[in-house]
Structure formats: structure tokens, C-alpha cells
Amino acid sequence: MRDQALAYASEHQQLHIEQLMELLCIPSVSTLPEHKPAVRRAAEWVRNYLQNIGMSRVELIETTGHPAVYAEWLGADPSAPTVLIYGHYDVQPTDPDNEWRTSPFSPTVIGDDLYARGAADDKGPFFALLAAVACYLQSAGRIPVNIKVLAEGEEEVTSTNLPLIVAERATQLACDTILIADHPMATPEVGILMYGVRGNLYTELEVRTLPHDLHSGTFGGVAPNAFNVICQIIATLTDQHGKIAVPGFYDRVRELSTDERALINGGLANEAVVLALTGASALIGEAEYSVAERMSVRPTLDVHGIRGGFIGAGSKTVIPAVAVAKISMRTVPDQDSHDLFALLDAHIQSVTPPSAHAMLRALDSSQPTIINYQHLAVQLAEEAYRLTFGATPLYMRGGGSLPILAEFQQQLRQNGHPVPIVMIGLGLPDDNIHAPNEKLHLPIFYRGITMIIRYFALLGTELAASERLHPD
Amino acid sequence: MRDQALAYASEHQQLHIEQLMELLCIPSVSTLPEHKPAVRRAAEWVRNYLQNIGMSRVELIETTGHPAVYAEWLGADPSAPTVLIYGHYDVQPTDPDNEWRTSPFSPTVIGDDLYARGAADDKGPFFALLAAVACYLQSAGRIPVNIKVLAEGEEEVTSTNLPLIVAERATQLACDTILIADHPMATPEVGILMYGVRGNLYTELEVRTLPHDLHSGTFGGVAPNAFNVICQIIATLTDQHGKIAVPGFYDRVRELSTDERALINGGLANEAVVLALTGASALIGEAEYSVAERMSVRPTLDVHGIRGGFIGAGSKTVIPAVAVAKISMRTVPDQDSHDLFALLDAHIQSVTPPSAHAMLRALDSSQPTIINYQHLAVQLAEEAYRLTFGATPLYMRGGGSLPILAEFQQQLRQNGHPVPIVMIGLGLPDDNIHAPNEKLHLPIFYRGITMIIRYFALLGTELAASERLHPD
């Protein structure tokens, strides 16, 4: 069965690239209202594709935003595990358009690369997962595992409706493992298995000192200035190295085991590499943690901007009454966004002078997620990477946030344990996601399909005994 | 001579108000290019008025910006002093227009008040000075003092061209005292003699940490954030009370004599009054100085705004590469803007971490000015206030800045001493200057003309011996 699928994949590379290019032609920019019909067309394209390759119960799920898509194929052996594939068919906007060398929605192959918005994030890698399913169904008429697919058109707009869908359809979505391909490999040979993400707590801090702005000539020296105060408050949030100085902030940070530390530091991130990548003249962060650790398993605090006051040309001498800072924190297991918000707020109130009123608002939050990387479902993905790319992949915890993971972990459980989420990388670090000239490296795309075919086969045999799926 | 002028003033109040209303009808907003012709029309109106009342050598002085106006009348006794009247006929913009209860350039009398943009700043008070001259010339054909008039149309746009005019025409402008009416009285009875202003040093601090913005998910924890850094730098500039913490900043601040301290604290500003005026819940400032002192004779540091980063709606997780803060300081005698810039820059460089590059730019600066309030020219204005309004005026140093004063003091000197500048108030604190519903309280306008008539008479007799003009 596996070999039939592998042969089919090898013979139909051109078909797969043509199919992907159809999907890439659809300008499914989820954040732009004028592209709303295009996001629906992308959903319909995915629905039709899943129908055509022989999936069942194919459904366009309407939401208050962009539609999602569900499909399943449950014809595997009774003992075979069920894999839930998650992906998204919406894309980022294309601006700045003048920096594209090809038209973003006219997919263009140049050498080994396919250029188009969404090529790497996430239409290409997501389609590789679907194509692997197709290779089995088209060649052998069956798959070694049961497959469910849940795809959405709102990933680039914070997956607004997906948590509702997951909660409402927890029974329908029941599975043994979740498979996602939405991040890069480390190199064209070395894959990355991502087994966790940081959470995010995004806040606005509003400091008000006066009912309205005043003139610094008249009242300078006595009237409290909202910008002076907000800078003083913000300066107390971190030390000079970027370590967070809010009391209690690190209390629930899970310390790394020696094994995990070795795993994380076995990656490619080090000071020289990150200095080169960022262009910074020096890095910040806690001296007692490595660069790789600071980027992925340690919490952070960044100020994104401060609105209010006068920022026009020239020299207006206003004492600003209000300043509003956007401040976010990346959080790590076992920190809880609600607890951190309370800690931050208490600290801010304690350092706010009597001349000012500070109000902290949460704009957005997601919990950090960690998956047991020793789970067999993850280990078998490592084996599939090695069999296909010839190199052992790296294990990483992502520095960014993927709120839907926490939702999956909360809603999709078996025997009281969250279902393991296997995140494989099928892009490259220089794919220009969210930027002009996004591309997909085609050799990785073809090998990715092969790798997933192998992974399904490994899951079907090694994990056939379902009790082995839940060592968590 | 004085009594003829006083009688004329009393009989021609209606004429003076009608003439002022003509000037107020001209929308001479100097900062708006579309109003450029109107500023010229205001200059022409002033020129024509001065010609019509019998002044000589009346001239429209062309500049690269808005024109200025010069005129003189030098027919007084040989021993009589010469008074240089300074004023401006440009006005602030009128926005927010929807908050005006009358049309800003359709002067409207309601009760005792005349509503119009420029009514109090400075067309009304400036015209009161000219009208006093007219009262002498129209009634007696002469004035007890020689008069020179220098008026500009760029005061609201930092008097760009006036320093050049003053420097080029120092001989033409030679005088014994300068008279300005461009600030309020304390109450309708209690005048204010302003004998100094603070200087201003307006800077931009640019902090750069990266060649371009980065994503806080990917690089949060290692990449230096320009906003975190700029807040930490700014927090070192003042202590929690607003006292400036830049080393050496206070070194050249002239300490107050006991007499001057009593004078300044004899005014109306105290904590309760200023709390009510500002609406603040608490005032800031150096505990060892009174509220009145902190507002006028102590230096200040205010942050006006910080541009850069992300301040839109929502939660974009960018690590900003650049932050630019507008920071200004009010300075006091004998501080020097150039010295302070160097001190500030050195301090900022010393607290900037290796991960950031800080660059301080001066946008604008003016030197603080102080006039000897015991000078007879000032004391005679006190007498004129008392004779007219029935109350002894207050002495104040202004908290704001008036860059042209330092220019006058540098260019217009006699026997090596700067010519004394007499600044009288003929408005009210609630005149809404620079705001909607600007007004002039007409009883003060009429009495102002009377007061200036008396002042010229006092100057002509008491100061006829020119050596008495220079005790400085």
C-alpha cells in the first residue's frame, strides 16, 4: 500500500504542482474584506479537491467569518489510528506590492522554487498533506490510517471561529494524533519537529495624568506628563538585559530537564547566527540561558509602540494627558495568561505615582502549549523525516504562538490526555512568508509528500495498537 | 498733553473697537500656507493704520516668510526716551472649528467681551499700544516719548525672520526700552509685569536597535527592542518627582534672592489653584521649591510623544527597530542651551546599552531671558498699572519661552547693557488663546489704552534724564 502510494507520488509530481498552482491563484487574503469571496473560493477548491480524491462527509462549514472545511476517510483497519490534519488556505496581504518580482497570485516557477503568496504559508505544505492522502486513495484505494481534515480560512486573522468549531465538533474531530505542516525546516535536509509554542498576552497600558493636554510653558514643572510617567513604569518592567522584573512573573515557568535542554541547544540557533539574522549589534536576554532557550522556552516582554502626545514635525510643546503603550509578553509552560495579567497589573499599580492613573487592558491572549516530544507519534515523524531526507530532524519549541493548539489540547482528549500534535516543517527559513516574494522550494514539496506517505504507513503499523498512543 | 490723550481715549472707545474689529476680520493664520495673503493684508492694515495716525518712515519689511512692519515717531523732546513697541498680527489656527460659538473671523461682541481669533493673542493688546500712540498724536499732535514700532506676522511660527531684521536694523531700532503686551493679567484688576521667560531646548532622541522590525514570536527574548530601550533611557532623565537627573543639569541655574523669591511667591499660583486649573490629581516637581517657582524659574523636562513601532488597532507583535522621542526642556538663567544639549547627550550615551544606538538631535532652542525688575522703566509700568487699575500688579517670570527677547537683549544694547523689556499683561487668564472662543475683555482693553497713555507720560517725565535708564 505504501509503495503504491510512493510510486504514485513519484509519477504525479507535475499533477500535484499544477493542482497547488490552482489553489495559489486564488487571492484568499482573509484580512481584506474585498477578498472575502476569494477566501470562500479557496475553501470550495479544498472541498472539491477532497471530494474528488475520495474523502467522505466533505463539508463547507459556515461561520460568521470565512468558511472552514471538514472531510474524513475512516476506512482503515479497525485497529488503525486516526489522524486529524489541520491546515489553512487563507494568506497574508501582499503589500508592499512593488517589491514582488512576480505577481503574487500568478504562481511562477523559477528554477526549483515556486513563487506565490501562500506558497509556503500554508497552501503548499497543507496541500502536501492532502496530496499524500490522495496518493494512497488514488493508487491503493485505501490509507493505513483513518484521516480527518479540518482546514480554515482565518488563520491569519487569529482563527476567530475555529475554537467554536472545535468545541462544537469535538466528537466528530476525535482522533489519535493531529498533524500540522506550517513551519520551515532548518535546512533543505534537516527537518524541524516543533513540540510546543509560546503563549501570548497582549495588553494596552493607558496612563492618564490630566483631563486634557496642557502647555509645557505654562505648566511645565508642576503638571504630570503621561509620557514621562509611562516611560518610568515601562522601565520597571524589565531589567537592562530584558529579564522581566515583575514580581512573581517567573514563578510558574517550568524548568527544562537536562535532556530537553540538550535537545533545544542541539539546534542551529546560537549568538553568531542570530546576530547575523537580526542585524543587531548585541543581543539581549537572560545570561543564564542560551540564545536558543531565550528564543523559545523563556518568556519575553516587548513594547510595540506608544500612542498619544505629539509626534508630528516640528516642536509642539504639549504636556500629554494620555499615553497608551502596547505591551505584549510571550509566555511559556506553565504560565497562565490570566495570572500574569493580574501580576502585571498589580506591579504597574504599585509603581504608578499618585499624579497618574494607570489602566491595563488585555487585548488578546493565548496559552502556551507543549507536546510530549517523546510520544511515539512524534518519534515516528522523526523516523519519516530521516527515511526521506536522510538526516535526523531537530526538535524545537516555537517562539511564536499558535492559539489553536491550546484549543485542540483542551477539546480533543483521549483518556484524559490531550491528543499529541505533530508539527512538521516543510518550508525553508528564507521562504519570505508574510513578505514579498514568498516561495516554496519544490524539491522539499515533493519529498514532503513522500515523507507523509511514509509517516502514515509508520503510524498504521507501529501505532496500530491504540494504547501505545497515550503515554502522556 | 497726557490729559488731552486721556480725554481722546475716553471719547473714542467706539472708534478703537471698530478699528480693532477690522484687524480681527483678517484671517492671518501664519502657519497655514493658504492664509499667506491674509497675513500680508494684516501687515498692510497695520502699516496703513500707522500712516494714518501720523507715524513716519512707515515700511512693510519683506522677508522670505510673512512681512513685518516698521514705523517711528521721533518728535519728542531731545531728552525724552525712545520706546520700541513690539507686537504681532498673525494668529493661531482656529481648529477645532466646531467648538466656536461665533465665527472666529467675524468679531462679535457679547456683553463685555469681544470674541474673535487673535482678540487676546495678540491683535487686541498690540492694538491697544498703537491706539495709545494715536490718542496722543490725534489730540496733542505729539507724544511724551519717541516711539518706534516693530510688528511681525510670524510670532506663531517661531518668529523665523525677526532675528534677522533685528540684527540688520539694530541701529534703526535703537531705543531706551521695549514695550510688549502679549500676556494676561492675573485678574481684571491685578496686572502682571513679566520680567523674564524660560528658554527652551527641544530635541528628538532616536534609538535604533535593529536594521528593521522583527517578529516578537521569532526573536522575542534576544532581539533588542527600541521602545523598551528608549523607555529605559527616558526613565533615567528625571526622578519620580520630575527633578532632572542628568548630571550637571542644574549647575548653572541662578539661585533666587530672598527678595525675588518673595516677589514670585506673592502671586496667585499655589498648589490648590494649580490643581484646579490643571485637573491633575497631584502635582509633580521639586519639593524644595514652591509651585510658583516650579512653574517659572526652575527648569523642566517633558516628553511630548514617541513615534515608531505599532500603534494601530489590534495586536501586531512587532519588535520595533526604531523609536523617536520628542523631549524638550524649559531652561532658566543662566543655563545655556548648547551646554545642556551636550550634558544631555553625554548622559544618554552613558546609559544606552550596547544593543542600541542613540542619537540626540536639537530641533529648536532659545535662551532664557531675565530683565532687571527693579529697572525704572519696569517700576513706572507698575505705577501706570496702579493709577489705572487701582491695584499693584504682580511680578512674574513666565514659564513659557519668547525667543525674540534674547535676540532683543543681544542686539539692542546701550552702554553695554541690554535694553530693558517691559512686558505688561492686558488679557485675562480665561481668554482662550490658541483655543476656540478666544476673547478680549473690553473694559481691560479700554483701560489698557489709558494705562499706556499714562505710562508714556511717566516715561517722558521721570525718565527724561536718559542716564537713569541704565542702572543695569
Residues A186, A392 contacting (CB under 8 angstroms): no
Provide the strand spans (E) within B226-342: 300-307, 318-319, 322-331
Interface size between A and B, measured as CB pairs under 8 A: 280
In the DSSP assignment, the letter for residue A118 is: T
* Statement: residue A470 has pLDDT above 80: no
Which of B161, B20, B7, B11 is CA-nearest to residue B445?
Answer: B20
Binary contact (A305, B309; C-beta < 8 A): yes
| B340 CB neighbour count, 10 Å cutoff | 24
Tell me if A449 is assigned to some domain: yes
**How many Å apart are CA A7 and CA B23, to the nearest integer?**
92
Tell me if B286 is assigned to some domain: no
Q: What is the pLDDT of residue B282?
A: 97
Binary contact (B227, A306; C-beta < 8 A): yes
Tell me if A149 is assigned to some domain: yes
* Statement: residue B290 has pLDDT above 60: yes
Which of B454, B469, B459, B363 is CA-nearest to residue B412?
Answer: B469
Q: Which residue would you say has higher pLDDT here, A401 or A107? A: A107
**How many Å apart are CA A336 and CA A253, to the nearest integer?**
10
Q: Same domain, yes or no, for B455 and B362? A: no
Binary contact (B330, A278; C-beta < 8 A): no
Q: Same domain, yes or no, for A104 and A206? A: no
A289-305 burial, b for 16+ CB within 10 Å, e for fewer?
Answer: bbbbbbbbbbbbbbbbb
Helix (H, G, I), strand (E, B) or coil at B447: helix
Q: Which of A216, A230, A356 sits opposite B328 (nearest CB)?
A: A216
Interval B181-191: pLDDT, tens: 999 999 999 99
Tell me if A288 is assigned to some domain: no
Q: What is the pLDDT of residue A315?
A: 80
The vertex-A166 CA angle with A162 and A168, nearest 5°, equals: 115
Average pLDDT over all residues of chain A: 94
**How many Å apart are CA A421 and CA A372, to the nearest integer?**
9
Q: Exposed, middle or buried: residue B419 (CB in 10 Å: 0-12, 13-18, 19+)?
A: buried
**How many Å apart are CA B267 and CA B246, to the nearest integer?**
30
C-alpha cell at A119: 506558497
**How many Å apart are CA A86 and CA A152, to the nearest integer?**
8
Q: Same domain, yes or no, for B350 and B409? A: no
Q: Which residues pair with B151 in a beta bridge?
A: B69, B87
What's the rounded mean pLDDT across residues B315-343?
Answer: 95
Residue A94: half-sphere exposure toward Cβ, Cα within 13 Å: 23
> Which chain B residues contact residue A235 at CB under 8 A?
231-232, 234-236
Q: Which of B230, B235, B296 sits opposite A232 (nearest CB)?
A: B235
Q: Same domain, yes or no, for B356 and B248? A: yes
**How many Å apart are CA A200 and CA A281, to the nearest integer?**
27
* Statement: residue A468 has pLDDT above 70: no
> Which chain A residues contact residue B299 at CB under 8 A?
221
Tell me if A126 is assigned to some domain: yes
Tell me if B290 is assigned to some domain: no
**How many Å apart are CA A245 and CA A231, to the nearest integer?**
15
Q: Same domain, yes or no, for B176 and B28? A: yes
What is the domain-level CATH number for residue B75? 3.40.630.10
Q: Exposed, middle or buried: residue A84 (CB in 10 Å: 0-12, 13-18, 19+)?
A: buried
Which of B301, B317, B121 is CA-nearest to residue A231?
Answer: B301
Interval B202-211: pLDDT, tens: 999 999 999 9
Helix (H, G, I), strand (E, B) or coil at A179: strand
Radius of gyration for chain A, computed over Cα atoms and rounded to the nearest angstrom: 24
Q: Same domain, yes or no, for B132 and B86? A: yes
Q: Same domain, yes or no, for B245 and B174? A: no
Interval A67-93: pLDDT, tens: 999 999 999 998 899 999 999 999 999
- Pick the residue from chain B with its C-alpha nearest to A368: B217
- Supply φ then ψ for residue A457, to 5 degrees: -65, -45
Smallest Cα distance from B95 to chain A, Å = 15
Q: Does the interface predicted TM-score (ipTM) exceed 0.90?
A: no
Q: Same domain, yes or no, for B61 and B188? A: yes
Q: Which domain holds residue A223?
A: 199-253+299-366
Which of B337, B260, B326 is CA-nearest to residue B297?
Answer: B260
- Pick the residue from chain B with its C-alpha nearest to A300: B221
Q: Same domain, yes or no, for A217 and A351? A: yes
First to last CA, chain B: 30
Q: What is the pLDDT of residue A430?
A: 87
C-alpha cell at B141: 499732535
Smallest Cα distance from A3 to chain B, Å = 38
Cis peptide before A93 (omega within 30 of 0): no
Which of A327, A347, A366 terminates a domain? The answer is A366
Which of B326, B343, B366 terminates a domain? The answer is B366
Q: Which residue would you say has higher pLDDT here, A464 or A471? A: A464
Residues A89, A60 contacting (CB under 8 angstroms): no
Tell me if A241 is assigned to some domain: yes
Q: Which of A217, A225, A294 sits opposite B222 (nearest CB)?
A: A294
Q: What is the pLDDT of residue A267?
A: 83
Which of B366, B395, B425 terminates a domain? The answer is B366
Smallest Cα distance from A184 to chain B, Å = 12
Which of B29, B67, B32, B62 is CA-nearest to residue B46?
Answer: B67
Q: What is the pLDDT of residue A290?
A: 96
Q: Which of A232, A279, A302 sits opposite B240 (nearest CB)?
A: A232
Q: Same domain, yes or no, for B203 and B352? A: yes
Smallest Cα distance from B60 to chain A, Å = 28
Interval B82-118: pLDDT, tens: 999 999 999 999 988 888 999 999 999 999 999 999 9
**How many Å apart are CA B164 and CA B81, to the nearest integer?**
25
Q: What is the share, in percent, of chain B residues with pLDDT greater than 90?
A: 86
Smallest Cα distance from A17 to chain B, Å = 30
Q: State the Cα torsion A240-A242-A245-A248 to the nearest 10°.
A: -160
Residues B86, B68 contacting (CB under 8 angstroms): no
| A451 CB neighbour count, 10 Å cutoff | 24
Interval A142-170: pLDDT, tens: 999 999 999 999 998 889 999 999 999 99
Which of A241, A209, A242 is CA-nearest to residue A227?
Answer: A209
Mutate to test the interface with A, among B302, B352, B434 (most CBs of A within 10 A): B302
**Counted domains in chain B:** 2
Which residues 6+ apart lie within 8 Å of A235 measured at CB?
B231, B232, B234, B235, B236
Q: What global pTM score does this model have?
A: 0.88
Helix (H, G, I), strand (E, B) or coil at A269: coil
Strands A146-152 and A68-73: antiparallel
In the DSSP assignment, the letter for residue A469 is: G
Which of B330, B320, B239 is CA-nearest to residue B293?
Answer: B330
**How many Å apart are CA A422 and CA A458, to the nearest integer?**
14
Interval B142-158: pLDDT, tens: 999 999 999 999 998 88
Binary contact (B399, A198; C-beta < 8 A): no
* Statement: residue A115 has pLDDT above 60: yes
Q: Same domain, yes or no, for A355 and A411? A: no
Residues A281, A236 contacting (CB under 8 angstroms): no
What is the domain-level CATH number for residue B239? 3.30.70.360
Q: Which of B224, B298, B314 sits opposite A282 (nearest CB)?
A: B224
Which of A30, A287, A33, A12 is CA-nearest to residue A151?
Answer: A30
**How many Å apart are CA B302 and CA A320, to the nearest integer?**
9
* Statement: residue A119 has pLDDT above 50: yes
Smallest Cα distance from A98 to chain B, Å = 18
Q: pLDDT tier at A96 (50, 70, 90 boundaries)?
A: confident
Tell me if A281 is assigned to some domain: no
**How many Å apart are CA A110 and CA A313, to the nearest integer?**
45
> Which chain A residues contact residue B432 at CB under 8 A?
none
Radius of gyration for chain B, computed over Cα atoms and rounded to the nearest angstrom: 24
Q: Same domain, yes or no, for B362 and B372? A: no
Interval A382-421: pLDDT, tens: 999 999 999 999 999 999 888 899 999 999 998 888 999 9
